[in-house]
Amino acid sequence: MSAADFRRTLSREDGFDRRQRWLRRLHLDLPLLALVLLTAAYGLVVLYSALDRDWMAFQGQLSRLAVAFIVMLIAAQLDLAMLQRWAPVLYGLGMVMLVLVLLVGVQAKGAQRWLGVPGLPRFQPSELMKLAVPLMVASFLADRPLPPTGKTVASVLALIAAPALLIGLQPDLGTAILVAAAGFAVLLLSGLLWRWVLLAGLLGLAALPGLWMVMRDYQRQRVLTLLDPESDPLGAGWNIIQSKIAIGSGGLFGKGLFEGTQSHLNFLPESHTDFIIAVLAEELGFLGVLGLLTLYFLLLTRGLYIATQGRDTFARLLAGGLTLTFFTYLFVNVAMVSGLLPVVGVPLPLVSYGGTSALTLLAGFGVLMAVATQPKPLAA
Amino acid sequence: MMDRDALTLRNPEQELRQFTGRALTLWVLLALAILLLVMRLFQLQVLEHDRHAARSEKNRIEVQPIAPPRGEIYDRKGRLIAGNLPVFSLMVVKERVEDLEATLALLETLIGLTAEEREAFQGRLARRRRPLEPVTLRLRLDPEAMARVAVNRHRLPGVEIEAGLLRHYPEGALLAHAVGSVRRLSEADLQRVDPIAYSATRFMGRLGVEAHYERALHGAVGHERVETDARGRITRTLDRTPPRAGHNLTLHLDRDLQAAAVAALAGRRGAVVALDPRTGGILALASTPSYNPNDFIWGLDAEGYQALQQDRDQPLFNRPVRGQYAPGSTFKPLVALAALTEGVTDWERSLKDPGYYQLPGQSRKYRDWSWTAGNGGGQGVVDLRKAIYRSSNTYFFDLGNRLGPEPMASVARAFGLGSDRSVDVFGARPGLVPDGGWKQQAQGQPWYPGDSLNFAIGQGALLVTPLQLATVAATLANRGQPVRPRFLMASDARLPELAPAPLPPLDQFSQADYAGVIEAMEAVVHRGNQRFGENGTAWAYIGQDIPYRMAGKSGTAQVVEIPQGEEYDEEALEERQRKHAWFMAFAPVEAPEIAVAVLVENGGGGSQIAAPVARAVVDAWLLPKAPQAPQVAKVAQQ
């Protein structure tokens, strides 16, 4: 039992609701837990359909989620002060591994993202950075006067840019965006002046042609495809055309669970991973998607509320940053599948098939619970 | 130093306030962002739903036409002469093949494609097709090849095994020219036919009965709506409109009679047409040499086709229907009718035959067939009856000269020459009946008296097909009631060909004259054991042991002109310059059941060469009589 726990135990009065106390002891936030479970359950139903009712694959995902939930429970127990102290170490370790990935990483599907350590499952260091970057930025900013000074902002930008660039080199644009977004989210929450944000936005727009120059061919193709998918309906445009057809043909109420023709007849590619929301949209319709987005919105709201209740600036920045990262995930994914953004590899949180992203996400929710359940220190 | 600054400047209350403000602002922003997603989904799922739903349906649902089974064709005794054989074919949908070369290479190792198959496939691929139309790679897969393809199906996207029916002619070459055949639909055909009705059909009738009754035989196309996955594989059938099979046809043809006719021709180039004089039903229609129509369906390689086309014996040429020949002396009975009717002669009138005929004031000798260079020919005193049974040219030269072209052209046309009177004989040629107007137009010359002489013995410009000559024989057998030759005897379809409008009887010629002409034609066959030069021309060849009464007339049509003063010497002439041998006949005379025309190309004398063929055919029809009687009665009712 940590020192903080001990102190809190001492400060508690008796006569507290037993259930509340039990949850407190496990460091669980009931609304957040309920929402995560609900979303994951809803996602599993959709996934079962997207997997063509392949029970074996479904079981695999179930066990991966179970592991991720255990990780969440463990993360919830972490002491925030300790997290803040260890943040630079975690960040540094992640950076070393990112460099290692580029040097000796395992290649798959034309990208070098995995680190193979004999005896251990393959591992993507970029996933770690989705947590390590907001942690580092929050830790860094928490020690500095807020709103941050120009110098601080410059340092934070460097902290964000370094891992994002390394991940972008793998290349894994989707993860690079998520990692950078996680860092920026913390920076935004720290009180970065809006006019700077505006200025950065304008600069970014001005830099777009430059970005075009450094983009790889396949990335440019994705942007062009977004603008005019019908120019190559059987090639580059196929994914986005088919996913729009899947979503649109679902209509208000959907074709019914397991009845989606676009996904079950394999017109929709990646139907159980990145494009799974198209399956949901096709089978359960607009109302089905609305339900999922509502769950997401409630999750985000609870996350931000927890952040505002954090015991100190670090806790608040970290919780807020993780919540906004979660938002980035779902926004990029849904916008991409519905044809608003170019195709980048971002899974739909808590729904898409795959273990790594669920692990990272639930670890994040665990940290949120840690923030929710660790009270302000007795002495300010 | 930094830390100390921070410590001194930190204000937890203010930071909390500021953070809360930020969080609230961001919460509003992300709510707006999610609203944006909701709006986008609303746009796709509600506003544009119809469009996407339609595309989704188009993605998965494919309408596949189902070919109707082609109607079967039977002979008069219900024996199948054109049927359908179930086959499994290897088809390729090019649009669904990822790498055609690799696919062909894989099939090569699996089932061993031949070079011809590859070539034929590439040829079919190059032709214009409907999109997603399967192209045949191998028409008939044996079970082992089928199994090999099926097992490797996942490696062969776009390759399908199609169950289908293929036209098959169990009798092969025997009935090829009568029944005709189907051929693979060509690009040009696709322009002509209704593309929807023929959307699943790969063969259509190209010749013969198959071509004439194409509409009845084809049937109606069916449809199947199937669900396919992204690779084009059928996952299930949604609904099905079955095709309607084509109508079956029963023909007047008799397979055995046809076989007898072909056997009687004994490999010579020639034609036999046998009609039922009462109905015009075509009992046999033989053309030799023939070809096997099944070869065209299984795929004839270029060499095989060229060999057929360039064969000097022209196996693809439908002689009885499309071959037009001078009728020779077989035309004489018609000239006799015209001369009797015009009053140019009567049964009593006779003349002395020196073996040749000369027009008044001309030195040119128009020779009788009995003429010899040493002037030893001639058939003595000849009357009309003898002029027929001895086939006297001299007598008919005289008739021709006195008749002139018009009465002869008129009797020829009355008997159906110069036009196609058939009901359902595909591609039948009209032949040619010359007259003054025709000659002026075609050759720019007036009609000379010599033309009338040639006309009277069936030479010159007059051309008939064996089918027409059989019709002439049938009309004579009917004592002037013409018939229209036809194949169709019965069908489950109500076809107009089943009841063709009857032709008016030729009553411009008297029954007495018909009887006289028929009696003379009987003498051609039966008048025997007389002194030299008095027997019927065919008696020695067919008449000595004939067990029924047959009326016949031989013809020997000159192919090249023999110069004045020279004899026709068969030995000296090239085989293909020899005379065509004709014989027309009907029997039994008192109640005719069969009328026949026989042509043997370059065969020589009609009585010697063609008459035995005619006798063999009539024998085959009349002699094994007992089991046929009911069928004949049934035909007579139609």
Q: List, as one string, the DSSP characters of A139-188.
A: HHHHTS-SSPPHHHHHHHHHHHHHHHHHHHTTT-HHHHHHHHHHHHHHHH
For chain B, the average pLDDT equals 88
pLDDT at B504: 94
Structure tokens at A213: 């120059």
- 3-state SS, one letter per residue, for B273-307: EEECCCCCEEEEEEEECCCCHHHHHHCCCHHHHHH
pLDDT at A118: 63
Beta-bridged to residue B584, according to DSSP, are: B553, B597
Within its chain, how far is the Cα of B17 from the centroid?
A: 99
Model confidence at B325: pLDDT above 90: yes
B489: left (phi over 0), alpha (psi -120 to 50) or beta: alpha
CB pairs under 8 A between A and B: 146
Distance from CA of B39 to the nearest CA of A (A): 10
Place of tokens 């898409």: A352
Name the residue among B436, B450, B458 with its Cα closest to residue B556: B458
Which pLDDT tens digit goes with each residue over B43-99? 999 999 999 999 888 888 888 888 899 999 999 999 999 999 998 888 888 877 888
B19 chain-A contacts, CB cut-off 8 A: 189-191, 307-308, 313, 316-317, 320
Q: Which of A187, A245, A371 to mutate to test the interface with B (most CBs of B within 10 A)?
A: A245
Within its chain, how far is the Cα of B395 from the centroid?
A: 40
Q: List, as one string, the DSSP characters of A27-74.
A: T--HHHHHHHHHHHHHHHHHHHHHTTT-HHHHHHHHHHHHHHHHHHHH
Would you call A346 helix, strand, or coil by DSSP?
coil
**B46 part of contact set with chain A, CB < 8 Å:** yes
The widest CA-to-CA distance across chain B, in whole angstroms, is 157
User: Are A290 and B41 inside 8 Å of each other by CB?
Assistant: yes
Model confidence at B619: pLDDT above 90: yes
The confidence band for B637, taking pLDDT boundaries of 50, 70 and 90, is very low
Measure the CA–CA gap between A317 and B398, rounded to whole angstroms: 131
Model confidence at B235: pLDDT above 90: no
CA gyration radius for chain B? 38
Which residue among B199, B329, B410, B422 is the active-site one? B329
Residues 6 or more apart whose Cβ sits within 8 Å of residue A372: A29, A32, A306, A309, A319
Measure the CA–CA gap between B26 and A324, rounded to whole angstroms: 9
Name the residue among A24, A22, A32 with its Cα closest to residue A319: A32
User: Peptide bond before B289: cis, by omega within 30 degrees of 0?
Assistant: yes
User: Are A286 and B23 inside 8 Å of each other by CB?
Assistant: no
Per-residue b or e along A262-284, where b marks 16 or more CB atoms closer than 10 Å to that residue's CB: bbbbbbbebbbbbbbbbbbbbbb
Neighbours of B565 (CB within 10 A): 8
Mean pLDDT of B26-30: 93
Measure the CA–CA gap between A159 and A137, rounded to whole angstroms: 7
Per-residue b or e along B263-291, where b marks 16 or more CB atoms closer than 10 Å to that residue's CB: ebbeebbbbbbbbbbbbbbbbbbbbbbbb
The confidence band for B306, taking pLDDT boundaries of 50, 70 and 90, is confident
Q: List, as one string, the DSSP characters of A273-337.
A: TTTHHHHHHHHHHHHHHHHHHHHHHHHHHHHHHHHHT-SSHHHHHHHHHHHHHHHHHHHHHHHHH
* Regions of chain A where pLDDT drops below 50: 10, 13-15, 379-380
Cβ burial, residue A329 (10 Å; 0-12/13-18/19+): buried
- Global pTM value: 0.72
Structure tokens at B86: 């179930």
Whether the CB-CB separation of B272 and B609 falls below 8 Å is answered with no
User: Are A266 and B230 inside 8 Å of each other by CB?
Assistant: yes
Structure tokens at B126: 């190059």
Measure the CA–CA gap between B48 and A281, rounded to whole angstroms: 14
Element (H, E) at B74: strand B73-74
Structure tokens at B562: 């023999």
Structure tokens at B2: 């930094």
Mean pLDDT of B552-556: 94
pLDDT at B6: 47
pLDDT at B134: 81
User: Peptide bond before B293: cis, by omega within 30 degrees of 0?
Assistant: no
Angle, helices B332-342 vs B511-526, to 10°: value is 150
pLDDT at A110: 64
B59 chain-A contacts, CB cut-off 8 A: 242, 245, 261-262, 265, 267
Whether the CB-CB separation of B97 and B159 falls below 8 Å is answered with yes
Structural domains of chain B sorted by starting position, each given as residue range(s) with its CATH number in brackets:
62-251 (3.90.1310.10), 255-637 (3.40.710.10)
Closest in A189, A191, A338 to B44, CB measured = A338
Is B329 tagged catalytic? yes
User: Are A143 and B230 inside 8 Å of each other by CB?
Assistant: no
Q: Which of B8, B56, B57, B98 to mutate to test the interface with A (most CBs of A within 10 A)?
A: B56
A127-131, A296-300, B170-174, B633-637: which range is least confident on average? B633-637
Would you call B350 helix, strand, or coil by DSSP?
strand
Distance from CA of B131 to the nearest CA of A (A): 16
- Chain A contacts in chain B segment 16-35 (CB below 8 A): 16, 18-20, 22-23, 26-27, 30-31, 33-34
Q: How far is CA B579 from CA B223, B430, B456, in A?
A: 57, 22, 18
If you measure CA to CA, which chain B residue comes closest to A144?
B6
Mean pLDDT of B32-42: 96
Closest in B22, B45, B53 to A188, CB measured = B22
Model confidence at B172: pLDDT above 50: yes
Place of tokens 């699996």: B110
Whether the CB-CB separation of B149 and B159 falls below 8 Å is answered with yes
Model confidence at B27: pLDDT above 70: yes
Name the residue among B213, B174, B398, B120 with its Cα closest to residue B291: B174
Distance from CA of A123 to the nearest CA of B (A): 31
Instruction: DSSP letter for A115, please.
Output: B
The confidence band for B391, taking pLDDT boundaries of 50, 70 and 90, is very high
DSSP H helices in B343-465: 384-389, 393-403, 405-414, 436-443, 449-456
Element (H, E) at B54: helix B49-60
Residues 6 or more apart whose Cβ sits within 8 Å of residue A246: A260, A262, A263, A267, A268, A275, A278, A279, A281, A282, B52, B56
Name the residue among B325, B583, B329 with its Cα closest to residue B457: B329
Model confidence at B478: pLDDT above 50: yes
